């Protein structure tokens, strides 16, 4: 009797690309950082002080590394962007300045006027209607058992695609920001509301960015929420590890404060975790690995929430590399969001179809617990819906209709693909408001889920 042994062929070398993290003093190719030693570059205070906030500061930092045309393009982009600009030296040093226009880090943080596209005609500034679900300043209560607490409106960097461009950062030439809860008195109002709603078991602490909270306020907020008996889960949300990982290494007091809350939560049988926000595999370097190792050693469970961004991670191969690299540094991929419909960044959005195709490719690449769920945070306050779970998707005209029966029953929530990604015929239909209205109404009728929740202007 012959026994045939079927052996799986060995993995190709390219499959280990996720392990190849940028090493060494990679920042020294930037003129302003050429003489910066490792200890200085890893100093979180130096990173914050040297962050680029204006076009002039960008030019002073990169000097002749970029062309004059690129600088003029960026200067115009700074003026018309709905978000203020703030980019850490770490992020600046990761940009490929031989091709900055197409670089995935540059696309997230430095606006170029030449890349600008007209906003979708049905877009609004607060597309998720967070303000309509806000019972007190700085608190969003949309889901039955979960609330979003926003105790500050500043971040270590400002992402061009921020869903809270209506509130985060300083006012710009195009947007006057809405006030969030920025004082301990306003925080107490939020705590009082949470304490009075026994169904609230899960609190996300975001903003802004909790990286910018002082250690004493990390503990104050964490302990205040842990003291509420029915609060069972807390998530501290920060972009920080992706764009300033050295803070976890050199700001011991901040990490100790977070550790204190995590450990106290554990003694109370309550879960306290960190949620972070990597979008590009290039954001993960040897510094990231060291920072994430500190969190891992302290038992701080870390999840990641990415945004699907055109030119950053919107190909199956790019997303697969990001997911594998996150797992390699002990960060669990949790969500990949459709890019929210926010002003001034239409060039970064992509289609529901792209998300579906990307998810199919990524699934099976690694363990299920390290595979993210691709979601659409439904415009109008429907909450996060699996991208596959639409009630109807008109791919030709780029209209996806979702239902949210446990959030806002009887409502239809509509997400629109970027118009420039549609066929020429579909683009021409969107130019006629009456035809566009009928396309949307027709999609909702075919979905059969009830009235439209959001009347988009």
Q: How confident is the model at residue 182 (pLDDT cuts 50, 70, 90)?
A: low
Q: What is the per-residue pLDDT across 56-107, written as a single tens digit (0 to 9) for each?
A: 999 999 998 888 999 999 999 998 887 788 999 999 999 999 999 999 999 9
The phi and psi torsions of 349 (rounded to 5 degrees) equal: -80, 155
**Band of residue 209 on the pLDDT scale cut at 50, 70, 90:** very high
Domain identity same for 156 and 48: no
Domain-terminating residue out of 391, 423, 449: 391
Which residues fall within 8 angstroms of residue 344, CB to CB, at 6 or more apart?
Answer: 80, 81, 82, 83, 111, 116, 119, 160, 165, 174
Q: Give the residue among 74, 134, 76, 141 at the shortest CA–CA distance from 109.
A: 74
Q: Considering only CA atoms, which of 400, 350, 378, 386 is closest in space to residue 454?
A: 378
In a domain, 71, yes or no: yes
Q: Mean pLDDT, to the nearest integer, of 121-141? A: 78
Average pLDDT, the chain: 91
Specify if 426 maps to a domain: no
> Which residue segment(s) compose the domain that 289 sits in?
131-391
Residues 166 and 298 in one domain: yes
d(CA 414, CA 404): 11
Same-domain check for residues 54 and 182 = no
Query: Tell me: the pLDDT tens digits for 32-63?
Result: 999 999 999 999 999 999 999 999 999 999 99
Q: Is residue 111 part of a domain?
A: yes
Q: Is residue 336's pLDDT more than 70? A: yes
Residues 346 and 197 in one domain: yes
Q: What is the pLDDT of residue 242?
A: 97
Q: Is residue 452 part of a domain?
A: no
Query: Does a structural domain hold residue 178?
Result: yes
What secondary structure does DSSP assign to 59-76, as a single string? HHHHGGGS-HHHHHHHHH
Residue 354 and residue 348: Cα distance in Å, rounded?
Answer: 13
- Domain identity same for 186 and 323: yes
Alpha carbon distances (Å) from 324 to 328, 337, 366: 6, 18, 7
pLDDT, tens only, 313-326: 999 999 999 999 99
Both 238 and 175 in a single domain? yes
How many other C-beta atoms can be found within 10 angstroms of the C-beta atom of residue 198? Answer: 12
| Contact indicator for 314, 336 with CB cutoff of 8 Å | no
CB count, 10 Å around CB of 228? 18
182-186, 197-201, 308-312: segment of lowest average pLDDT: 182-186
pLDDT at 128: 59
Work out whether the CA dihedral 14, 358, 343, 302 comes out positive or negative.
negative
Give ∠ CA 426-430-436 in degrees, rounded to 5: 110
Q: In terms of domains, do 73 and 145 share one? A: no
Residue 130: predicted pLDDT: 63
Q: How far is CA 411 from the centre of its chain?
A: 26
Per-residue model confidence as pLDDT tens digits over 295-314? 999 999 999 999 999 999 99
The pLDDT of residue 259 is 98
pLDDT for res 172: 45
Q: Rounded to a whole number, what is the largest CA-CA distance in the chain?
A: 81
Residue 189, H or E segment: helix 184-195
Contact 326, 304 (CB under 8 A): yes
Output the pLDDT for position 169.
Answer: 46
pLDDT digits (tens, 9 = 90+) for 132-180: 788 998 899 988 999 999 998 888 898 888 875 554 544 444 444 345 5
Asked if 89 and 196 sit in the same domain, the reply is no
Check whether residue 300 and residue 359 sit in a common domain.
yes
316 & 366 share domain? yes
385 and 251 both lie in a single domain: yes
CA 3 to chain centroid: 52
Q: Is residue 418 part of a domain?
A: no
Q: What is the token pair recorded at 449?
A: 């889920």
Q: Looking at residue 385, which CATH number applies to its domain?
A: 3.20.20.70
428 in any annotated domain: no
For 351-395, the pLDDT digits (tens) are 999 999 999 999 999 999 999 999 999 888 888 999 999 999 999
Q: Does the CA dihedral 310-311-317-318 come out positive or negative? A: negative
Report which of 90, 86, 87 is spatially closest to residue 41, judged by C-alpha positions: 90
Q: Which of the listed residues 115, 142, 177 is the one where a domain comes to its end?
A: 115
Residue 77 shares a structural domain with residue 197: no
**Distance between CA atoms of 107 and 160, rounded to whole angstroms?**
8
- Per DSSP, the three-state class of 441 is helix
Give the number of domains in the chain: 2
Q: Has residue 416 been placed in a domain? A: no
Given 339, 363, 391, the domain boundary residue is: 391
């Amino acid at each position: 009797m012959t026994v045939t042994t079927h052996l799986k062929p060995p993995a190709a070398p390219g499959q280990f690309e996720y392990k190849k993290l940028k090493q060494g003093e990679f920042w020294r190719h930037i003129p302003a950082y050429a003489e910066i030693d490792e200890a200085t570059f890893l100093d979180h205070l130096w990173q914050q002080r040297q962050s680029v906030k204006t076009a002039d500061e960008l030019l002073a930092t990169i000097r002749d590394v970029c062309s004059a045309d690129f600088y003029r393009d960026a200067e115009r982009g700074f003026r018309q962007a709905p978000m203020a600009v703030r980019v850490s030296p770490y992020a600046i040093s990761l940009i490929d300045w031989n091709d900055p226009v197409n670089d995935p880090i540059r696309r997230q943080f430095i606006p170029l006027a030449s890349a600008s596209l007209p906003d979708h005609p049905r877009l609004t500034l607060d597309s998720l209607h967070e303000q309509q679900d806000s019972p007190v300043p700085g608190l969003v209560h949309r889901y039955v058992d979960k609330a979003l607490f926003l105790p500050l409106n500043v971040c270590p960097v400002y992402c061009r695609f921020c869903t809270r461009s209506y509130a985060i950062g300083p006012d710009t030439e195009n947007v006057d920001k809405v006030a969030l809860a920025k004082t301990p008195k306003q925080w107490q109002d939020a705590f009082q509301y949470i304490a009075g709603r026994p169904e609230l078991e899960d609190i996300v602490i975001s903003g802004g960015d909790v990286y910018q909270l002082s250690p004493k306020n990390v503990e104050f907020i964490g302990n205040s929420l842990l003291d509420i008996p029915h609060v069972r889960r807390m998530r501290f949300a920060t972009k920080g590890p992706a764009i300033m990982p050295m803070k976890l290494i050199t700001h011991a007091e901040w990490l100790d404060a977070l550790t204190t809350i995590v450990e106290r939560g554990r003694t109370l049988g309550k879960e306290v975790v960190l949620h972070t926000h990597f979008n590009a595999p290039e954001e993960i370097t040897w510094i990231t690995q060291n920072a994430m190792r500190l969190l891992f050693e302290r038992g701080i469970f870390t999840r990641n929430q990415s945004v699907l961004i055109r030119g950053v991670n919107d190909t199956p191969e790019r997303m697969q590399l990001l997911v594998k690299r996150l797992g390699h540094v002990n960060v669990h991929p949790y969500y990949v969001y459709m890019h929210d419909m926010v002003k001034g960044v239409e060039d970064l959005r992509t289609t529901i179809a792209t998300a579906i195709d990307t998810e199919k490719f990524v699934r099976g690449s690694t363990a299920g617990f390290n595979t993210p769920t691709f979601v659409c945070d439904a415009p109008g306050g429907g909450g996060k819906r699996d991208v596959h779970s639409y009630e109807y998707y008109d791919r030709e005209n780029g209209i996806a209709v979702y239902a949210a029966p446990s959030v806002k029953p009887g409502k239809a929530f509509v997400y629109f693909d970027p118009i420039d990604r549609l066929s020429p015929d579909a683009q021409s239909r969107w130019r006629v408001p009456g035809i566009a209205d009928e396309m949307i109404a027709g999609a909702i009728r075919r979905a059969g889920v009830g009235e439209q929740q959001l009347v988009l202007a």
